[in-house]
Structure 1
Amino acid sequence: MVFFYPILFLISFLLYNVYSLYLNYKDASALGLPRVISPITPDNPLWIALQTIFKTAVRQFPFGAVSFTRHTRLGWEFHDRFHTHVRLGDAWVLVTPTRNWICVANAATVTDIFSRGRDFVRPIWMLEALNVFGPNISTAEGHDWQRQRKLTATPFNEHKSPQAWDESFRQAEDMLQSWCSQSRDGTNATPDDTRTLALHVLAYVAFQKSYPFGSIPLHTIQDQDSLTYRDSISIILENALLIMVLPEKLFNLPFLPRSSQQVG
């Protein structure tokens, strides 16, 4: 009896997903495009948290390039690149239990989509993690987007491009010198260093704040009560996955370490 309700919940959950997948498949069939079925929605928060655990097992499925497992991972498009388009054509549909994704690799079609912003609105729900500091141009639509665009037009415009390039070049030179000064084993901090470079360029262009290159020491940030813009963004990027998966209030629980509370 102890396991009855968990098993019932699991069966109900599976049946619901199968039925939802069936309905979405019917909708996708009406489009007349090639279809790829994924029984798991790649951006499902629970799956995002667990996909690393199941990654090794999932890769053992003996279906090769056409396996549904190819498109279950969050960010699958970075690994798949153009392979599915080579196999299926310029446009195809990824069918999942939650929604259908139309993947397009035709320049004329993509240009037409981007020129019709009112017909093809952005999926704002995908950008909720960027609302950590409140509504912004990345998460706004319609009139609110126009207002946000006016606010950002001054610090971010074509006249700032030379500054962005100059600071990028300076930061890249410093990063290269830092890498060359490493031991013969090289460095394993490439993601952290490139993120730092991007943050420093952004801080310089937006606020005229120039920082010497160097990976941002998180242990130092965690000891501070007041953070700079650069340090705040660094914490957000470092914990972007947790921010997407977990509710904001969870980070403020008193028994959590200070580093987790700073995220909230």
Structure 2
Amino acid sequence: MLSLLSACSLLLAISTLTFTSRLYALYRNYLTARPLNIPLIIRLESWQDPFWMLCGPPIRSLLSRLGLSDLTTTDYTSIGWPQHDRFASHAALGPAFAIITPFKTNIVIADVAAARAMFRGWRAWVKSEELYAMFNAYGRNVNSANGDDWQRHRKITAAALKEGNSRLVWGATRKQVDGVVRKWVGKHGEEITLRELRGDAETVAMHVLMSAGFGQEYVFETGVQLVEAGHRVSFGEAMRTCVGAMAVMLVPVTFAVAQLPSWVVPNGLKRLQVAVEEVQAFLRSAVEAEREALRKGVQPRDNLISTLVRANEEEKKGVHGKGLALTDDELYGNLFMFTLAGHETTSSSLSYAVPLLAVYPEVQRWIRAEVDAVAAEVGLEDYTEAYPRLVRTLALMYETQRFFSAIPMHPKYTGSQSQILKLNGSNKVIPHETFVSINYNAIHFDPALWGSDVNDFRPSRWIKGNGALGQERFGTPDGAEFLGWSFGPRACPGKRFSQVEFTAAIARLLSECEIRPARMEGESVEQARDRLRVKTFDVEHFISLQVTDPDGAGIVCVSRSDT
């Protein structure tokens, strides 16, 4: 009994100390932020707190069931709160407000001029080393580096993303979507749920990355099941497992346990351990194989690993390039980062765009008219001829990303020094070690930027002028009004990759199929369409954006030859 009391006393003391220290940190951050003279929101937890990121949602759900929390109010402690809030908080509080927590002060802005200044001032407004450490699982990369180190990464990786790679992406995507068409049409009107659709989109994205990134070819139907000699799982399967683990922040944990003997690793983590080890082995052998091909004078291929390794080897030879080349770990880190970012961006965009084609049949007809016109004029097989003409198809991707941003906010960081930022018409001194997060969702739904129809899904807003089908002009905002691939010097280097893949996928799909809402028994087409719309827009953001009820609605795919 005495031991139990002692244990309870110790637990109470630790809990009290933890709570007191959090209160002190909260008060300290409040005092620091008060001179900014912007609205302050006080919260005991933060989405930047690792404990709260994992445990916050179930804790809040439990509190709601007990009547101690209201899930209908904005939860500023979750990473995805801007997705549902859109512009509401900024409409009420202004272009900038601060969320004060015990962890870090987070100033949230929807001021385009301030955002533009921060994107361009990338040396002052850095990426938090602590926050971005999870992306360094295989080595530092262009996403996590800062300052001169980032410039070094950018120089090498930019050289790897050439037009030849875009042609590979175009061809690989068309092959994969051929498999999608065979599967979906072959279901003969059977429902394809939003869950199944997301899975198929992820398979397409991963296979395209394996082809255009690493020269590994996989058939859509059989997936990444082929195990190469000397390996326990295929490269594609290992990469997919690691990418999925990254989505729930397990890669850092997995790297820790990967160093342990297998007999002490929990069964639930053994599959991840194998995947981590296999990806490391694959990347190492692929880089060495490309170096050997270079030594033998073999002509380079257009895939990502070939161009990246060769660009890095050339940098080693240059007189002015000494010290700028990437280390092997940095090569691995960048290859994995491109896979992670490319997979999530494209698969997410496709998984929302396709059901929206069923929700908005007028949009589907509008895009298909362009696809048919381009197919009749130049065909859809050749990237160089077809891609520049498919502006309506690309507009669908932009409008989808405006509604379903892969990143709700972009957290910039002042680092060790305070920074000056113009907010609300006056210069503010932002304290050191403070986050300033650019609210992508709010900017994308600011009626002052997008007009009174800001909440309408209307891809035609991206088309300028009245050109003939296949000859229309695509128009994007001049500044930081749209942030689908970020903005400025540190914008996503894989932007073209994802755009080409999405455009090729939608064009191929619509050239063969008509997408309709799946109907329940006794349900009209309009009722099915409304249900699909509600389910598609009901999303939650836990690391990545996900449909809340992926089995609650779906689509059917009908061959155009049968319509």
TM-score by length of 1: 0.81
Indicate the residue corresponding to 2:219 in structure 1.
212
CA gap of 1:56–1:116, structure 2 versus 1, over 3 A, is same
Indicate the residue corresponding to 1:197 in structure 2.
204
- Higher mean C-alpha displacement, 120-129 vs 172-181: 172-181
Contact 1:34–1:91 (CA<8 Å) still a contact in 2? yes
The one-letter amino acid paired with 1:254 is W
Q: Tell me the secondary structure at the aligned position of residue 92 of structure 1.
A: strand
Find the aligned partners of 1:108 and 1:130 in 2 and give their Cα distance.
Answer: 29
Indicate the residue corresponding to 1:233 in structure 2.
239
Find the aligned partners of 1:195 and 1:110 in 2 and give their Cα distance.
Answer: 31
Number of residue-to-residue matches in the alignment: 259
Confirm whether residue 33 of structure 1 aligns to residue 38 of structure 2: yes
Contact 2:29–2:104 (CA<8 Å) still a contact in 1? yes
Write the deviation string for residues 184-231 of structure 1: whole angstroms up to 9, x where unpaired.
Answer: 34332344333333323333333344433359579x89xx52541x33
Matches within 5 A, 1:1-264: 1-59=6-64, 60-61=67-68, 70-157=75-162, 160-165=165-170, 167-168=172-173, 170-172=175-177, 174-175=179-180, 177-182=182-187, 184-187=190-193, 188-213=195-220, 225=232, 227-228=234-235, 230-240=236-246, 241-243=248-250, 246=253, 248-250=255-257, 252=260, 254-255=263-264, 256-257=266-267, 258-262=270-274
Contact 1:90–1:106 (CA<8 Å) still a contact in 2? yes
Write the deviation string for residues 6-29 of structure 1: whole angstroms up to 9, x where unpaired.
Answer: 100001101111111111112221
Write the deviation string for residues 97-122 of structure 1: whole angstroms up to 9, x where unpaired.
Answer: 11011211122221111011111112
**Ranges in structure 2 where 5+ consecutive residues have no aligned partner:** 1-5, 277-563
Find the aligned partners of 1:33 and 1:160 in 2 and give their Cα distance.
Answer: 47
Q: Tell me the secondary structure at the aligned position of residue 154 of structure 1.
A: helix
Contact 2:29–2:102 (CA<8 Å) still a contact in 1? yes
CA gap of 1:20–1:122, structure 2 versus 1, over 3 A, is same
CA gap of 1:20–1:165, structure 2 versus 1, over 3 A, is farther
CA gap of 1:148–1:61, structure 2 versus 1, over 3 A, is same
Find the aligned partners of 2:167 and 2:212 in 1 and give their Cα distance.
Answer: 10
Write the deviation string for residues 60-103 of structure 1: whole angstroms up to 9, x where unpaired.
Answer: 54567656xx1122333333332222221211112111101121
Higher normalized helix content (fraction of residues)? 1
Find the aligned partners of 1:58 and 1:134 in 2 and give their Cα distance.
Answer: 40
Find the aligned partners of 1:200 and 1:173 in 2 and give their Cα distance.
Answer: 13
CA gap of 1:148–1:170, structure 2 versus 1, over 3 A, is same
CA gap of 1:185–1:226, structure 2 versus 1, over 3 A, is closer
Contact 1:130–1:139 (CA<8 Å) still a contact in 2? yes
Q: Which has the higher contact order (CA 8 A, sep 6+)?
A: 2
Identity of aligned residues (%): 23
The one-letter amino acid paired with 2:219 is P
Find the aligned partners of 1:32 and 1:176 in 2 and give their Cα distance.
Answer: 56
**Ranges in structure 1 where 5+ consecutive residues have no aligned partner:** none
Contact 1:46–1:245 (CA<8 Å) still a contact in 2? no
